[in-house]
């Protein structure tokens, strides 16, 4: 499914949205402030640790920069 991350240019809120066409992206509103000024951003990806692994998750986010729903910590 085409789920993309967006950042509101007005309030800086980061949110996800399911987008099937460019028209839907153009009409996208920020769920926090309602502004229609959002830009698509690069998603943060993380690798899952296998059982018994003691390595890093591979994620480059930190506690202050994690997107909503991040479970890397």
Domain boundaries along the sequence of the chain: 3-33
Measured in residues, the chain has a length of 73
Tens-digit pLDDT profile for the chain (73 aa)? 578 999 999 999 999 999 888 888 888 999 999 999 999 998 765 445 555 544 444 445 554 555 666 555 4
C-alpha–C-alpha distance, residues 70 and 61, integer Å: 9
C-beta of residue 10 within 8 angstroms of C-beta of residue 37: yes
Question: Using CB atoms within 10 A of its CB, is residue 5 exposed (0-12), middle (13-18) or buried (19+)?
Answer: middle
C-beta of residue 8 within 8 angstroms of C-beta of residue 37: yes
* Confidence at residue 3, expressed as pLDDT on a 0 to 100 scale: 87
């Amino acid at each position: 499914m085409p789920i993309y991350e967006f950042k509101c240019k007005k309030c800086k809120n980061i949110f996800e949205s399911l987008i099937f066409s460019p028209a839907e992206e153009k009409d996208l509103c920020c769920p926090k402030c309602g502004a229609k000024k959002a830009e698509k951003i690069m998603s943060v990806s993380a690798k899952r640790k296998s059982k018994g692994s003691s390595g890093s998750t591979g994620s480059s986010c930190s506690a202050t920069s994690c997107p909503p729903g991040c479970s890397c910590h």
